[in-house]
Amino acid sequence: MGAHKETLGFQAEVKQLLHLMIHSLYSNKEIFLRELISNASDACDKLRFEAIGQPELMEGGGELAIRVAFDKAARTITVSDNGIGMSRDEAVQHLGTIARSGTREFFAQLTGDQQKDAQLIGQFGVGFYSSFIVADRVTVISRRAGTGEAIKWESSGAGEFTIEPAERAERGTDVILHLKEGEDELLSHWQLKSILTKYSDHIATPIRMNKEEWDKDKGEHVTRDEEETVNQANALWARAKSDISDDQYKEFYRHVSHDFGEPLAWTHNRVEGKTEYIQLLYLPGKAPFDIWDRQSRHGIKLYVRRVFIMDDAEQLMPTYLRFVRGVIDSSDLPLNVSREILQESRDVRAIREGSTKRILGLLEDLAENRKDDYARFWAEFGQVLKEGIGEDHANKERIARLLRFSSTGSDAQAVSLADYVGRMKDKQKAIYYVTADTLEAAGNSPHLEVFRKKDVEVLLLADRIDEWMLGFLHEFDGRPLESIAKGDLDLGELADAAEKEEQARVADEYKELVGRVRTALGERVKDVRVTLRLTDSPACVVAERDAMSGHLARLLKAAGQKAPESKPILELNPHHPLVQRLKTEEASLAEWSALLLEQAVLAEGGQLDDPAAFVRRVNTLLLDAAK
Ligand code: ADP
Ligand code: MG
């Protein structure tokens, strides 16, 4: 297998990514070093972990370390580590393809605009390929721990790479960058060291460079054999908070999240007591591409007493907080803990509960004290957080306080349930809402008319998840949540005595007409009645109190699920001239009734069973009018 040199092609996405990276990230070119150090450190973490079960992988010990060197004459920079290394197949796989979830979504979002795309690519994670920003050829020599064979991988980043057998004295990896013309300023001890200090100080594995000193006779700097460690080389999360600068927190975020951007906020705590652990958890500034994939990578890295155990430890965070990134370092779990054990572990449950509380606390703090940041958070992750209403019974109340909605008083999703309750009218008992496919449809719903008239605020809900969430959120702060498109609208004490009298009076006055319309519509409706909830529209449809709303039934159908057949109730506005005309209408009553029903269904965002019949009816009317 592969005892000779082979030339292989990059996966198409890699070619695209390389092209994009080289062109849009040039102004950030020094990040290549951060990415290579990040990979070297991951490789050391992986070896430390695998060696727990297979100590022989350590090949007789030796401290795990990363080395950075440069060669002025050859114009190369080399980043070496004595970590896990790569076999031939691993090199082909890991350096020739992108296996990340969300890759397709990422490419679909590219615009061709360099600045916008640079942002996107940063979020996607630039990784190993960022080497090609400064290098026109990259050579990787690697030997997988526990094997005797080394490989040499090489590419000029133009679509192909070669792979062939090689020699390496020890396990680990060298990444050798052959610099492009004009990149010589990187060939300096001072320059490399300052990039490392800036981006990689938080790396727990020591990063070493040869010392340099000024040679008076030669009149230049010369490299000495003696090495120096250029980073602090201890786990950032285990340091005292007061010893960590905001910039260091941010760089560490980039390392754990593979996100180029900045975190919105973080929380760092040492938890003591029955279960002991350190948590350093971040809220990202932007949602990743695969946020809607509930199976997507979870962002928590698990360490046990500083030893890296696994990425994406999904048991450490509930699904509705899957956007959280960071590290949890447990003092209690065994080093050989597996995903299966995590599932069962009481310590893990305690960690998950503790971390959930921390994140909710962090969000509450943002909502209270950094409103702009909370609005940013909400725009990126609000819909995911809503899943928590159905998923996390214990914290439902806290999550409900964090929700933000649009309302008849505010277009932006900025109204909290507490704000709403604070603005409720004296006699108002319920929190009113209306759901629809879009905010416009919700805002134009005929059901809102009486609420506008009475100046009562109504929440406008148009996110796909809202109907599902409402199935779990029946009240807030002791007030029921009520759909205004359901049931016999009971405005309770919001309606005054005169209005109640008026309702009784019109019900009586229109009794006969209502009966005729009901007969005309037959099986198409559950019932017909008059209502005072409308001011401008002649009619509207509502669902029975316990029936599924029209909106939810449509969502279910769109998702290919069966929705129980539920017929609408048609409500007529007795003050509307059209309805008043109906009283004296004989010949066309059936047609007019059908039209009123059909337009009410359309106004609600619904679909007609027989749209052609509706069009025919409208045209007949138009022709009559034109006569
Ligand atoms: P990421 O670090 O996000 O996985 P990269 O593009 O940085 O993506 O690296 C791709 C993969 O290449 C890594 O996941 C790892 O499997 C492999 N790799 C890169 N550098 C090294 C290294 N120094 N030692 C071992 N494996 C490496
Ligand atoms: Mg990487």
pLDDT, mean over the chain: 90
Cβ of 35 closer than 6 Å to ligand 1, yes or no, is yes
Q: Which residues pair with 600 in a beta bridge?
A: none
Whole-number percent of the chain with pLDDT over 90:
62
pLDDT value for 410:
84
CA distances from 568 to 8, 77, 208, 527, 601 (A): 63, 73, 74, 7, 9
Cβ of 125 closer than 6 Å to ligand 1, yes or no, is yes
Q: Which of 244, 259, 476, 279 is nearest to 358 (CA)?
A: 279
Considering only CA atoms, which residue is closest to atom 4 of ligand 1?
Answer: 127
Q: Which of 565, 558, 561, 535 is nearest to 605 (CA)?
A: 558
pLDDT digits (tens, 9 = 90+) for 318-351: 999 999 999 999 999 988 888 888 888 899 999 9
Choose between 296 and 366: higher pLDDT: 366
Distance CA 368, CA 362 (A): 10
pLDDT value for 127:
86
Please tell me the distance between residue 39's alpha carbon and the centre of ligand 1 in angstroms.
Answer: 5
pLDDT value for 313:
83
Considering only CA atoms, which residue is closest to atom 27 of ligand 1?
Answer: 39
Do 518 and 492 form a contact (C-beta atoms < 8 A)?
no
Distance CA 294, CA 297 (A): 9
- Least confident range from 330-339, 402-411, 505-514: namely 330-339
pLDDT value for 343:
84
pLDDT digits (tens, 9 = 90+) for 152-203: 999 999 889 999 999 999 999 999 999 999 999 999 999 999 999 988 998 9
Distance CA 549, CA 461 (A): 13
Distance CA 196, CA 181 (A): 22
Angle at which helices 114-124 and 12-24 cross, to 10°: 120
Please tell me the distance between residue 38's alpha carbon and the centre of ligand 2 in angstroms.
Answer: 6
pLDDT value for 293:
65
| Lookup result for tokens 């060298």 | 174
Q: Answer yes or no: is pLDDT of 296 > 70.
A: no
pLDDT digits (tens, 9 = 90+) for 375-385: 999 999 999 99
Parallel, antiparallel, or unpaired: how do β-strands 220-229 and 299-304 relate?
unpaired
- Least confident range from 69-83, 93-107, 345-359, 387-401: namely 93-107
Q: Which numbered ligand comes closest to the C-alpha of 311?
A: 1
Distance CA 460, CA 404 (A): 11
Q: Which residues have CB less than 5 Å away from ligand 2 (the ion)?
A: 38-39, 127
CA distances from 43 to 36, 86, 109, 371, 444 (A): 11, 9, 31, 40, 57
Q: Answer yes or no: is pLDDT of 492 > 70.
A: no
Q: Which ligand 1 atom sits closest to the C-alpha of 175?
A: 23
Q: Answer yes or no: is pLDDT of 484 > 70.
A: yes
For a substitution probing ligand 1, which of 14, 89, 94 has the most ligand atoms within 8 Å of its CB? 94
Confidence band, pLDDT 50/70/90 cuts, at residue 126: confident
